[in-house]
């Protein structure tokens, strides 16, 4: 009998992802397009490659109506059932899984994938599943080696170099532990539900103790957590490390966390370069004779138009590398686009330049204008962001700035946040 698999993707909610503003004001962060497709589309389409996949669940606390349209269209497109499950309140990364355990176990799956939506990687899920079956433990986590300087921003871990067993896990340590970090992608057996229940039961027991020792008073931080709020890292991974239950699978590919607009631009480029390997049909081409000249990896929505002047090739726009043009974008002759995400219904007029920027929905960039930045993806003003319906008038230069929605710029700005 075939062993069924289900996947659960944690999408968070509107109180999360505040660093993603102004791009998340009207669009939930998981639906923000990277390489022309919703952020959550990339892990969903990776799940499609898992053998015997029965269902995909998106768990979060956005309103259901915000995901209804997307969920129905992606289910039809991928021919796999995708359901959105709304949490009544945050339950923690493991608590949310447990809260919906009956629905997740409807198909009696043998394996449950758990992914975080704001992770960008190649998602080697079938290989990870094979490794997990070989280890014979309760769970396997995707890990990657990073520089020692950046490791403490993530969950650091120590794994047995031979057996790959997780021996030690600590979340964002103050001192260096290891250059191996947790990628936020896991596969578990259904035993994970027992482990989560044990945490809740233990916490309930502690809360019911009438007399609390002075040591337990010091531990008050954990005592005050609700019994149904269970964190995967601190409450499950750390205590179960070294007990022959959890194992690691190391990826040699790219991996990033998408916490800010700057990182979304970087990750859009990483996904575009991956398209070259597994979805080359999604990449645009053009040599400048009948349409724009395309350089490197570029996604152009079928409805986007590059407007020509007299069909003379030197008037042509040049697009790329790392450019994503969404629906109904209009690009004038002589425009130069490099490393940018241009969202729906934007117009970029003749000879404008956009470099290291995200141009919000329904915005307009005037003739001979420049919207650009240094391209430091980690810096607050490392890329320029135009919110929704921003107008940059002709011959205006916008450098390393963030412009909130519904603004008109008729003077040049540099390193400013325009409220």
Question: Whole-prediction pTM value?
Answer: 0.90
Structure confidence at residue 91 (pLDDT): 87
> What are the structural domain ranges in the chain?
5-259, 281-414
Q: Which residue has the higher pLDDT, 208 or 189?
A: 189
Checking if the pLDDT of 110 tops 60, the result is yes
Checking if the pLDDT of 148 tops 60, the result is yes
Checking if the pLDDT of 382 tops 90, the result is yes
* CB contact at 8 A, 406 and 389: yes
Q: Which residues contact 273 (CB under 8 A, 6 or more apart)?
A: 297
Question: Cα–Cα distance between 409 and 78 in angstroms, integer?
Answer: 42
Interval 72-99 mean pLDDT:
92
Which of 174-178, 256-260, 310-314 comes out lowest in average pLDDT?
310-314
Which of 156-170, 171-185, 339-353, 405-419 comes out lowest in average pLDDT?
171-185
From the centroid of its chain, how far is CA 406? 26
Which of 4-18, 56-70, 397-411 comes out lowest in average pLDDT?
4-18
Checking if the pLDDT of 224 tops 80, the result is no
Average pLDDT, the chain: 90
Checking if the pLDDT of 258 tops 60, the result is yes
Phi (first) and psi of residue 408, to 5 degrees: -120, 125
Confidence of residue 107 (pLDDT cuts 50, 70, 90): very high
Q: Which residues contact 165 (CB under 8 A, 6 or more apart)?
A: 135, 137, 159, 242, 244, 246, 247, 248
Fold of the CATH domain 5-259: Spore Coat Polysaccharide Biosynthesis Protein SpsA; Chain A (3.90.550)
Which of 73-87, 293-307, 318-332, 396-410 comes out lowest in average pLDDT?
293-307
- Mapped onto helix, strand or coil, the DSSP state of residue 98 is helix
Examine domains 5-259 and 281-414 and report if their fold is the same: no
Share of the chain above pLDDT 70, in %: 92
Structure confidence at residue 16 (pLDDT): 61
Name the residue among 176, 175, 177, 150 with its Cα closest to residue 166.
177
Which of 177-181, 182-186, 284-288, 354-358 comes out lowest in average pLDDT?
284-288
Structure confidence at residue 216 (pLDDT): 53
Name the residue among 76, 70, 121 with its Cα closest to residue 270.
121
Structure tokens at 303: 């409805």
- Mapped onto helix, strand or coil, the DSSP state of residue 371 is strand
* CB contact at 8 A, 236 and 197: no
Name the residue among 321, 346, 327 with its Cα closest to residue 269.
321
* CB contact at 8 A, 185 and 116: yes
Q: Which residues contact 233 (CB under 8 A, 6 or more apart)?
A: 93, 155, 169, 171, 182
* CB contact at 8 A, 237 and 180: no
- Mapped onto helix, strand or coil, the DSSP state of residue 312 is coil
Confidence of residue 211 (pLDDT cuts 50, 70, 90): very low
Structure tokens at 209: 């103790």
In what helix (H) or strand (E) does residue 317 lie, and over which residues does it extend? none
Question: Cα–Cα distance between 4 and 52 in angstroms, integer?
Answer: 5
Domain 281-414 has CATH 3.90.550.10: no
Checking if the pLDDT of 312 tops 50, the result is no
Which of 1-15, 159-173, 211-225, 289-303 comes out lowest in average pLDDT?
211-225
259: left (phi over 0), alpha (psi -120 to 50) or beta: alpha
Interval 94-101 mean pLDDT:
93
Structure confidence at residue 199 (pLDDT): 86
33 strand-pairing partners: 38
């Amino acid at each position: 009998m075939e062993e069924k698999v289900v996947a659960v993707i944690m999408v968070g909610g509107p109180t999360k992802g505040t660093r993603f503003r102004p791009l998340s004001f009207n669009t939930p962060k998981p639906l923000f397009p990277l390489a022309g497709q919703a952020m959550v589309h990339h892990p969903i389409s990776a799940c499609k490659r898992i053998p015997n996949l029965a269902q995909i669940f998106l768990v979060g606390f956005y309103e259901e109506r915000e995901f209804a349209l997307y969920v129905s269209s992606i289910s039809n497109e991928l021919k796999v059932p995708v359901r959105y499950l709304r949490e009544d309140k945050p339950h923690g990364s493991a608590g949310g899984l447990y809260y919906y355990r009956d629905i997740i176990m409807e198909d009696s799956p043998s394996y449950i994938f758990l992914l975080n939506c704001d992770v960008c990687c190649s998602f080697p899920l079938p290989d990870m599943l094979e490794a997990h079956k070989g280890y014979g433990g309760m769970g396997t986590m995707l890990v990657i080696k990073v520089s020692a300087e950046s490791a403490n921003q993530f969950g650091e871990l120590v794994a047995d170099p031979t057996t790959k067993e997780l021996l030690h896990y600590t979340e964002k340590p103050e001192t260096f532990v290891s250059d191996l970090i947790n990628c936020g992608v896991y596969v578990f057996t259904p035993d994970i539900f027992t482990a989560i229940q044990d945490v809740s039961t233990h916490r309930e027991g502690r809360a019911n103790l009438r007399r609390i020792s002075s040591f337990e008073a010091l531990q008050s931080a954990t005592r005050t957590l609700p019994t149904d709020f269970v964190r995967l890292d601190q409450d499950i991974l750390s205590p179960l490390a070294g007990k022959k239950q959890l194992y690691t699978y190391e990826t040699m590919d790219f991996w990033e966390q998408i916490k800010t607009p700057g990182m979304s631009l970087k990750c859009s480029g990483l996904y575009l370069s991956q398209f070259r390997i597994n979805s080359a049909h999604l990449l645009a081409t053009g040599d400048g004779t009948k349409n724009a000249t395309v350089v490197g990896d570029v996604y152009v929505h079928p409805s986007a138009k590059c407007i020509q002047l007299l069909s003379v090739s030197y008037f042509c726009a040049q697009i790329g590398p790392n450019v994503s043009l969404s629906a109904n974008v209009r690009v004038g002759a002589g425009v130069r686009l490099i490393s940018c995400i241009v969202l729906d219904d934007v117009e970029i007029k003749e000879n404008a330049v956009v470099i290291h920027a995200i141009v919000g929905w329904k915005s307009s960039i005037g003739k001979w204008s420049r919207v650009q930045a240094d391209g430091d993806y980690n810096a607050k003003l490392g890329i320029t962001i135009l919110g929704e319906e921003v107008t940059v008038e002709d011959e205006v230069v916008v450098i390393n700035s963030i412009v909130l929605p519904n603004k008109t710029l008729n003077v040049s700005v540099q390193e400013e946040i325009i409220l």
